[in-house]
Copies of this chain bind each other. A is one copy, B any other.
Amino acid sequence: MTHERSTSLRDRLRLPIGEPVDLARHDAAGTPAGPDGKEAGKAATARTGERLAVLQERLWAASTKGDRRRVLLVLQGMDTSGKGGTVKHVIGLLNPSGCRITAFKAPTAEERAHPFLWRVEQALPVRGELGIFDRSHYEDVLIARVRELAPAPEIARRYEQINRFERSLADDGMTLVKCFLHLSPDEQRRRLLKRLDKPEKRWKFAASDIDDRALWPAFQEAYEIALERCGTSYAPWYLIPADHKWYRNWAVSTLLLEHFEELDPRYPKADFDVAELRKRLLEQP
Protein backbone atom coordinates (compact mmCIF):
# COMPACT_ATOMS: atom_id res chain seq x y z
CA MET A 1 0.00 0.00 0.00
CA THR A 2 1.39 3.37 -0.87
CA HIS A 3 0.52 6.54 0.92
CA GLU A 4 -2.35 8.36 -0.82
CA ARG A 5 -2.69 11.98 0.10
CA SER A 6 -6.11 12.67 -1.33
CA THR A 7 -6.84 14.88 1.65
CA SER A 8 -3.93 16.60 3.33
CA LEU A 9 -2.35 15.33 6.51
CA ARG A 10 -3.12 18.74 7.99
CA ASP A 11 -6.80 18.02 7.64
CA ARG A 12 -6.35 14.58 9.21
CA LEU A 13 -4.34 15.64 12.25
CA ARG A 14 -5.74 19.10 13.00
CA LEU A 15 -7.78 19.19 16.20
CA PRO A 16 -11.22 20.70 15.53
CA ILE A 17 -11.22 24.39 16.46
CA GLY A 18 -13.16 25.31 19.58
CA GLU A 19 -14.18 21.78 20.50
CA PRO A 20 -13.37 19.99 23.77
CA VAL A 21 -10.41 17.58 23.49
CA ASP A 22 -10.54 14.10 24.99
CA LEU A 23 -7.05 12.70 24.66
CA ALA A 24 -8.14 9.22 25.76
CA ARG A 25 -10.09 8.98 22.51
CA HIS A 26 -6.94 9.42 20.41
CA ASP A 27 -4.80 6.34 19.82
CA ALA A 28 -1.16 7.23 20.57
CA ALA A 29 -0.04 4.15 18.61
CA GLY A 30 -2.08 5.05 15.53
CA THR A 31 -0.54 5.81 12.15
CA PRO A 32 -3.30 7.76 10.37
CA ALA A 33 -2.65 8.25 6.65
CA GLY A 34 0.91 7.05 7.26
CA PRO A 35 3.22 4.88 5.18
CA ASP A 36 3.06 1.12 5.56
CA GLY A 37 5.41 0.46 8.46
CA LYS A 38 8.77 1.57 9.77
CA GLU A 39 10.99 1.05 6.73
CA ALA A 40 8.57 2.70 4.34
CA GLY A 41 8.12 5.50 6.87
CA LYS A 42 11.83 6.21 7.13
CA ALA A 43 12.22 6.24 3.35
CA ALA A 44 9.25 8.58 2.96
CA THR A 45 10.63 10.92 5.63
CA ALA A 46 13.99 11.10 3.84
CA ARG A 47 12.24 12.02 0.57
CA THR A 48 10.12 14.60 2.36
CA GLY A 49 13.29 16.06 3.85
CA GLU A 50 14.80 16.60 0.41
CA ARG A 51 11.76 18.53 -0.79
CA LEU A 52 11.61 20.50 2.45
CA ALA A 53 15.27 21.48 2.12
CA VAL A 54 14.62 22.98 -1.32
CA LEU A 55 11.62 24.97 -0.09
CA GLN A 56 13.55 26.07 3.00
CA GLU A 57 16.28 27.49 0.75
CA ARG A 58 13.69 29.26 -1.37
CA LEU A 59 12.07 30.83 1.68
CA TRP A 60 15.48 32.10 2.77
CA ALA A 61 16.28 33.35 -0.74
CA ALA A 62 12.96 35.21 -0.91
CA SER A 63 13.67 36.82 2.47
CA THR A 64 16.81 38.46 1.07
CA LYS A 65 14.52 40.56 -1.15
CA GLY A 66 12.05 41.47 1.59
CA ASP A 67 9.66 38.50 1.88
CA ARG A 68 8.85 38.56 5.60
CA ARG A 69 7.39 35.08 5.85
CA ARG A 70 8.76 32.57 8.33
CA VAL A 71 7.68 29.34 9.97
CA LEU A 72 7.60 28.32 13.62
CA LEU A 73 7.35 24.66 14.60
CA VAL A 74 6.20 24.24 18.19
CA LEU A 75 6.81 20.82 19.77
CA GLN A 76 5.01 19.92 22.96
CA GLY A 77 4.51 16.59 24.68
CA MET A 78 5.16 14.60 27.84
CA ASP A 79 8.70 13.52 28.77
CA THR A 80 10.12 11.02 26.26
CA SER A 81 7.41 11.88 23.70
CA GLY A 82 10.23 12.67 21.29
CA LYS A 83 10.60 16.43 21.04
CA GLY A 84 14.39 16.17 20.91
CA GLY A 85 14.23 13.16 18.60
CA THR A 86 12.05 15.09 16.18
CA VAL A 87 14.57 17.90 16.06
CA LYS A 88 17.37 15.41 15.42
CA HIS A 89 15.62 13.35 12.75
CA VAL A 90 13.39 15.91 11.03
CA ILE A 91 15.24 19.20 11.42
CA GLY A 92 18.48 17.30 10.79
CA LEU A 93 17.30 16.89 7.18
CA LEU A 94 17.43 20.66 6.63
CA ASN A 95 20.15 23.26 6.24
CA PRO A 96 21.02 24.14 9.84
CA SER A 97 21.86 27.73 8.84
CA GLY A 98 18.20 28.45 8.19
CA CYS A 99 16.95 26.94 11.46
CA ARG A 100 16.68 28.70 14.80
CA ILE A 101 16.24 26.08 17.51
CA THR A 102 15.40 26.81 21.11
CA ALA A 103 14.90 24.27 23.89
CA PHE A 104 13.04 25.96 26.72
CA LYS A 105 14.04 24.87 30.23
CA ALA A 106 12.77 25.99 33.60
CA PRO A 107 12.79 29.80 33.39
CA THR A 108 15.76 31.67 34.84
CA ALA A 109 15.37 34.36 37.51
CA GLU A 110 15.58 37.05 34.80
CA GLU A 111 12.97 35.30 32.67
CA ARG A 112 10.62 34.98 35.63
CA ALA A 113 10.96 38.71 36.27
CA HIS A 114 9.51 39.41 32.80
CA PRO A 115 6.07 38.54 31.37
CA PHE A 116 6.00 34.84 30.48
CA LEU A 117 6.04 35.55 26.74
CA TRP A 118 9.21 37.63 26.95
CA ARG A 119 11.71 34.83 26.58
CA VAL A 120 9.70 33.37 23.75
CA GLU A 121 9.82 36.66 21.86
CA GLN A 122 13.63 36.63 22.05
CA ALA A 123 13.72 33.23 20.37
CA LEU A 124 11.39 33.81 17.42
CA PRO A 125 12.60 33.07 13.89
CA VAL A 126 13.32 36.05 11.66
CA ARG A 127 12.15 36.27 8.07
CA GLY A 128 13.24 33.38 5.92
CA GLU A 129 13.91 31.15 8.91
CA LEU A 130 12.33 28.03 10.31
CA GLY A 131 12.11 28.38 14.08
CA ILE A 132 11.83 25.29 16.23
CA PHE A 133 10.61 25.37 19.82
CA ASP A 134 11.35 22.29 21.91
CA ARG A 135 8.80 23.18 24.59
CA SER A 136 7.41 26.71 24.43
CA HIS A 137 5.15 29.30 26.04
CA TYR A 138 2.69 26.44 26.50
CA GLU A 139 4.73 25.24 29.48
CA ASP A 140 3.29 28.30 31.22
CA VAL A 141 -0.18 26.77 31.07
CA LEU A 142 0.93 23.14 31.41
CA ILE A 143 3.49 22.46 34.13
CA ALA A 144 2.67 25.90 35.55
CA ARG A 145 -0.95 24.75 35.99
CA VAL A 146 -0.19 21.25 37.25
CA ARG A 147 2.46 22.39 39.73
CA GLU A 148 0.69 25.66 40.57
CA LEU A 149 3.72 27.76 39.66
CA ALA A 150 1.49 30.82 39.22
CA PRO A 151 -1.82 31.92 40.78
CA ALA A 152 -4.85 30.32 39.12
CA PRO A 153 -6.33 33.62 37.86
CA GLU A 154 -3.05 34.43 36.16
CA ILE A 155 -2.92 31.07 34.44
CA ALA A 156 -6.53 31.53 33.37
CA ARG A 157 -5.54 34.80 31.67
CA ARG A 158 -2.64 33.24 29.80
CA TYR A 159 -4.72 31.33 27.26
CA GLU A 160 -6.06 34.56 25.81
CA GLN A 161 -2.64 36.18 26.03
CA ILE A 162 -1.22 33.30 24.04
CA ASN A 163 -3.96 33.62 21.43
CA ARG A 164 -3.39 37.34 21.02
CA PHE A 165 0.35 36.77 20.77
CA GLU A 166 -0.01 34.06 18.13
CA ARG A 167 -2.52 36.16 16.24
CA SER A 168 -0.01 39.00 16.01
CA LEU A 169 2.66 36.63 14.75
CA ALA A 170 0.35 35.17 12.13
CA ASP A 171 -0.69 38.66 11.01
CA ASP A 172 2.98 39.51 10.57
CA GLY A 173 3.68 36.62 8.20
CA MET A 174 4.54 33.79 10.57
CA THR A 175 3.15 30.33 9.89
CA LEU A 176 2.71 28.43 13.15
CA VAL A 177 2.80 24.64 13.11
CA LYS A 178 1.95 23.48 16.63
CA CYS A 179 2.41 19.76 17.23
CA PHE A 180 1.32 17.89 20.31
CA LEU A 181 3.26 14.62 20.45
CA HIS A 182 0.68 12.26 21.93
CA LEU A 183 2.28 9.43 23.90
CA SER A 184 0.67 6.59 25.84
CA PRO A 185 1.65 6.05 29.48
CA ASP A 186 2.74 2.47 28.69
CA GLU A 187 5.08 3.63 25.96
CA GLN A 188 6.48 6.29 28.30
CA ARG A 189 7.22 3.60 30.87
CA ARG A 190 9.06 1.55 28.23
CA ARG A 191 11.12 4.56 27.20
CA LEU A 192 11.97 5.54 30.76
CA LEU A 193 13.02 1.96 31.53
CA LYS A 194 15.25 1.99 28.46
CA ARG A 195 16.90 5.19 29.68
CA LEU A 196 17.55 3.53 33.02
CA ASP A 197 18.85 0.29 31.55
CA LYS A 198 21.27 1.71 28.99
CA PRO A 199 24.28 3.37 30.65
CA GLU A 200 24.71 5.73 27.67
CA LYS A 201 21.09 6.90 28.08
CA ARG A 202 21.03 7.31 31.85
CA TRP A 203 22.10 10.95 31.70
CA LYS A 204 18.73 11.75 30.14
CA PHE A 205 16.96 10.41 33.19
CA ALA A 206 15.92 12.52 36.15
CA ALA A 207 14.18 11.19 39.23
CA SER A 208 11.70 14.03 38.74
CA ASP A 209 10.51 12.25 35.57
CA ILE A 210 8.87 9.70 37.84
CA ASP A 211 7.26 12.41 39.96
CA ASP A 212 5.83 14.05 36.82
CA ARG A 213 4.59 10.64 35.70
CA ALA A 214 2.58 10.30 38.88
CA LEU A 215 0.77 13.48 37.79
CA TRP A 216 -0.10 12.02 34.37
CA PRO A 217 -3.88 12.66 34.62
CA ALA A 218 -3.35 16.26 35.70
CA PHE A 219 -0.94 16.84 32.78
CA GLN A 220 -3.38 15.30 30.31
CA GLU A 221 -6.11 17.57 31.60
CA ALA A 222 -3.86 20.61 31.31
CA TYR A 223 -3.07 19.61 27.71
CA GLU A 224 -6.74 19.13 26.90
CA ILE A 225 -7.55 22.64 28.13
CA ALA A 226 -4.62 24.22 26.29
CA LEU A 227 -5.34 22.36 23.06
CA GLU A 228 -8.95 23.45 23.17
CA ARG A 229 -8.51 27.07 24.19
CA CYS A 230 -5.47 27.78 22.05
CA GLY A 231 -6.43 25.87 18.95
CA THR A 232 -7.38 28.67 16.57
CA SER A 233 -7.96 29.17 12.88
CA TYR A 234 -4.67 31.09 12.59
CA ALA A 235 -2.68 28.70 14.80
CA PRO A 236 -4.37 25.30 15.12
CA TRP A 237 -3.00 22.35 17.05
CA TYR A 238 -2.03 19.10 15.37
CA LEU A 239 -2.19 15.89 17.37
CA ILE A 240 0.67 13.59 16.38
CA PRO A 241 0.39 9.98 17.57
CA ALA A 242 3.90 9.49 18.96
CA ASP A 243 4.21 5.92 20.22
CA HIS A 244 5.87 5.02 16.90
CA LYS A 245 8.93 7.19 16.37
CA TRP A 246 8.97 6.58 12.63
CA TYR A 247 5.37 7.77 12.34
CA ARG A 248 6.05 10.85 14.48
CA ASN A 249 9.00 11.82 12.26
CA TRP A 250 7.06 11.18 9.08
CA ALA A 251 4.01 13.11 10.31
CA VAL A 252 5.91 16.18 11.52
CA SER A 253 8.02 16.35 8.36
CA THR A 254 4.95 15.92 6.16
CA LEU A 255 3.02 18.60 8.06
CA LEU A 256 5.94 20.97 7.67
CA LEU A 257 6.16 20.17 3.97
CA GLU A 258 2.46 20.86 3.46
CA HIS A 259 2.84 24.25 5.12
CA PHE A 260 5.93 25.13 3.08
CA GLU A 261 4.16 24.02 -0.11
CA GLU A 262 1.30 26.33 0.69
CA LEU A 263 3.72 29.22 1.22
CA ASP A 264 5.26 28.33 -2.15
CA PRO A 265 8.34 30.56 -1.73
CA ARG A 266 10.11 31.58 -4.97
CA TYR A 267 13.67 32.46 -5.79
CA PRO A 268 13.72 36.23 -6.25
CA LYS A 269 14.39 37.73 -9.67
CA ALA A 270 17.78 39.36 -10.17
CA ASP A 271 17.66 43.13 -9.64
CA PHE A 272 20.82 43.66 -11.71
CA ASP A 273 21.97 43.34 -15.29
CA VAL A 274 23.39 39.82 -15.53
CA ALA A 275 25.15 40.41 -18.86
CA GLU A 276 26.89 43.53 -17.61
CA LEU A 277 28.10 41.90 -14.37
CA ARG A 278 29.27 38.88 -16.33
CA LYS A 279 31.33 41.17 -18.54
CA ARG A 280 32.85 43.00 -15.54
CA LEU A 281 33.79 39.69 -13.93
CA LEU A 282 35.51 38.39 -17.04
CA GLU A 283 37.40 41.65 -17.54
CA GLN A 284 38.86 41.65 -14.02
CA PRO A 285 42.43 40.31 -13.79
Give the interface of A toward B (CB within 8 A): 61, 64-65, 84, 87-88, 91-92, 94-97, 99, 101, 103, 134, 189, 192-193, 196-197, 199-200, 202-205, 207, 210, 213-214, 267-270, 272, 274, 277-278, 280-282, 284
Contacts and interface: CB of A to CB of B under 8 A. Distances in A.
Contact of A134 (B97, B103, B134): B97
Contacts of A193: 278, 281-282
Contacts of A207: 272, 277
B284 A189 contact: yes
A189 B270 contact: no
B270 A205 contact: yes
Contacts of A99: 96
Given A97-B101, A214-B284, 12 more contacts: A61-B204, A88-B96, A92-B95, A92-B96, A97-B103, A189-B282, A193-B278, A193-B282, A200-B267, A210-B284, A213-B281, A213-B284
Nearest to A63: B203
Copies in the complex: 2
Contacts of A95: 87-88, 92
Contact of A202 (B94, B103, B274, B284): B274
Contacts of A189: 281-282, 284
Counting from the closest, the 4 A-B pairs by CB-CB distance are A61-B203, A202-B270, A88-B95, A87-B97
A210 B281 contact: yes
Contacts of A84: 97
A203 B65 contact: yes
A88 B269 CA distance: 24
A268 B203 contact: yes
A130 to B, nearest CB: 11
A196 B134 contact: no
B92 A88 contact: no
Contacts of A281: 189, 192-193, 196, 210, 213
Nearest to A267: B200
A87 B96 CA distance: 7
Contacts of A64: 203
Nearest to A84: B97
A103 B134 CA distance: 22
Contacts of A277: 196, 205, 207, 210
Contacts of A213: 281, 284
